[in-house]
């Protein structure tokens, strides 16, 4: 996610605390937050897909994806 979008999320959060948001700003904030959350999830999944567990015998194995 671009830094400008993160800055905008923070700007909207400060404004919401100080004086409140208009309906358009609330909608923008919601969309930006969802995009940020999806970005963090994608990054975490990518990291976990490249993570190996080493057992006591030195064998490396990938983490398995847990199905819900």
pTM: 0.74
For residue 8, what are the domain limits? 3-62
CATH number of the domain enclosing 42: 1.10.287.540
68 belongs to a structural domain: no
What pLDDT shows up at residue 64?
Answer: 79
Count of domains for the chain: 1
Write down the pLDDT at residue 43.
95
Q: Are 9 and 32 in contact (CB under 8 A)?
A: yes
Does residue 67 sit within a domain? no
DSSP string across 34-45:
HHHHHHHHHHHH
Q: How confident is the model at residue 68 (pLDDT cuts 50, 70, 90)?
A: low
Q: Is residue 45 part of a domain?
A: yes
The answer to whether residues 60 and 52 touch, using CB atoms and an 8 Å cutoff, is yes
Encode pLDDT of 23-50 as tens digits. 999 999 999 999 999 999 999 999 988 8
């Amino acid at each position: 996610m671009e830094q400008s979008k993160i800055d905008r999320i923070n700007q909207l959060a400060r404004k919401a605390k100080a004086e409140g948001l208009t309906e358009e700003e609330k909608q923008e904030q919601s969309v930006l937050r969802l995009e940020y959350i999806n970005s963090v999830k994608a990054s975490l999944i990518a990291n976990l897909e490249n993570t190996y567990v080493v057992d006591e015998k030195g064998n490396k194995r990938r983490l398995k994806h847990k199905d819900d």
